[in-house]
């Protein structure tokens, strides 16, 4: 249980960071795909 609670704390703390990083990567992929099409 301690490991799970610690993991949830870490995931909550870095969820915003991962969301912004995923958004940047996703937008870059769409940007490059639009050029290839």
Domain range for 1: 1-37
Provide the pLDDT confidence category of residue 29 given band limits of 50, 70 and 90.
very high
The pLDDT value given to residue 37: 61
Mean pLDDT over 5-27 rounds to 84
Average pLDDT over residues 12-21: 83
Helix and strand counts by DSSP (H, E) for the chain? 1, 0
Give the count of domains, the chain. Answer: 1
Write the secondary structure of the chain as one string of H (helix), E (strand) and C (coil). Answer: CHHHHHHHHHHHHHHHHHHHHHHHHHHHHHHHHHHHC
Calculate mean pLDDT across residues 23-35.
Answer: 91
> Which of 5-9, 25-29, 31-35 is predicted with the least confidence, judged by mean pLDDT?
5-9
């Amino acid at each position: 249980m301690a490991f799970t609670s610690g993991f949830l704390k870490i995931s909550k703390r870095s969820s915003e960071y991962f969301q912004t990083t995923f958004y940047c990567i996703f937008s870059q992929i769409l940007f490059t795909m639009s050029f290839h099409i």
